[in-house]
């Protein structure tokens, strides 16, 4: 893994070394080996611009190291050159990091860029993108737009049951605020039925259950 990390971080230097080795091989040794080295150099350059450091960003996010993820993602200087599925994930992560610092304007801009990156390979991200946009809009006070996007996210499909439970809880809270207790309770039951495991969601369910039990309807 350490060698892979070094290769990803220094692909351009690696490509330069392969190119020099290829030229030397062309001049003094084997022409076939030289062409192999040339091809490997070109592949390294292509990977640098079309995939970037997103593998390392993903690993850092999974490890919960946000600062390291931010450091890796800043190394991507030309995001529009990334292949579409990677580009979509790049903008989504940028949006998530902006939300963490409460920069909601930038967060919304980036999630919309992710949504506008059309790719059949990234099709299953539509629901997740809509969910994130909905949560951003809720925090911005755009309740109507946020609610519409959360409902659209459910329809598009949210692969993670923890996230889906969070969406149902948000919709439950909205319905109760609108004094639509019956539909609010229905959303709560859907959230609870998913049996989420994350500490945050479980705590929200416990708190909301106490409030809902006192509501009429």
What pLDDT, in 10s, does the model give residues 70-127?
899 989 999 999 998 899 889 998 998 888 888 999 999 999 999 888 665 555 688 8
Please choose, from the candidates 88, 120, 82, the residue with its C-alpha nearest in 3D space to the C-alpha of residue 96. Answer: 88
Tokens 């192999």 found at: 36
| pLDDT single digits (tens) 9-21 | 999 999 999 999 9
Domains in the chain: boundaries: 163-217
pLDDT in tens, 84-100: 889 988 999 899 888 88
Indicate whether 199 pLDDT > 60: yes
| pTM score above 0.95 | no
């Amino acid at each position: 893994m350490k060698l892979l990390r070094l290769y990803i971080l220094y692909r351009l230097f690696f490509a330069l070394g392969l190119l020099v080795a290829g030229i030397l091989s062309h001049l003094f040794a084997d022409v076939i080996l030289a062409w192999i080295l040339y091809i490997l150099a070109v592949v390294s350059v292509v990977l640098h611009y079309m995939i970037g450091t997103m593998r390392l960003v993903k690993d850092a996010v999974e490890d919960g190291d946000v600062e390291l993820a931010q450091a890796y993602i800043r190394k991507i200087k030309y995001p529009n050159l990334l292949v579409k599925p990677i580009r979509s994930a790049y903008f989504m992560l940028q949006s998530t990091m902006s939300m963490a610092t409460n920069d909601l304007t930038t967060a919304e801009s980036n999630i919309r860029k992710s949504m506008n990156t059309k790719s059949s390979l990234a099709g299953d991200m539509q629901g997740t993108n809509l969910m994130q946009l909905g949560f951003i809009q809720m925090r911005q006070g755009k309740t109507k737009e946020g609610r519409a996007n959360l409902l659209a996210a459910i329809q598009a499909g949210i692969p993670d049951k923890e996230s889906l439970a969070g969406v149902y809880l948000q919709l439950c809270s909205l319905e109760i605020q609108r004094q639509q207790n019956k539909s609010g309770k229905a959303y709560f039951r859907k959230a609870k039925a998913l049996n989420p495991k994350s500490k945050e969601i479980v705590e929200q369910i416990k708190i909301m259950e106490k409030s809902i039990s006192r509501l009429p309807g």
